[in-house]
Amino acid sequence: CQVYIMGLCLGWFMQKYKKIKIPVFIQIIGWILGLSLMLAVWFGLYNYNRGHTHLSHFWSAMYSAFSKPAWGLGLGWIIFVCYYGYGGPVNRFLSWNIWVPLGRLSYAAYLLHYTIVIIFVFSGNDYAVIFTGFWPMVWNYVIPITFLTFVFSLIWSSLFEVPIAKVETILLRPSKPKIHLEKMVNDHGKSVINGWDIEQTENEKIKN
Q: What is the pLDDT of residue 59?
A: 84
Q: What is the pLDDT of residue 190?
A: 54
Lowest pLDDT segment from 46-55, 63-72, 185-194, 199-208:
199-208
* Dist. CA 84–CA 90, nearest whole Å: 13
| Structure confidence by residue, pLDDT tens digits, 79-117 | 999 999 999 899 999 888 888 888 889 989 999 999 999
Residue 126 pLDDT more than 80?
no
Q: What is the pLDDT of residue 164?
A: 87
DSSP secondary structure letters along 135-183: HHHIIIIIHHHHHHHHHHHHHHIIIIIHHHHHHHHHHHSPPPPP----E
Residue 152 pLDDT more than 80?
yes
pTM for this entry: 0.65
pLDDT-derived band at 201, boundaries 50, 70, 90: very low
Q: Give the full edge-to-edge strand order of the sheet including 191-193.
A: 183-185, 191-193, 196-198
* Dist. CA 33–CA 55, nearest whole Å: 25
Q: Average pLDDT for residues 118-130, to the nearest whole number? A: 71
- Mean confidence (pLDDT) of the chain: 82
Q: What is the pLDDT of residue 124?
A: 61
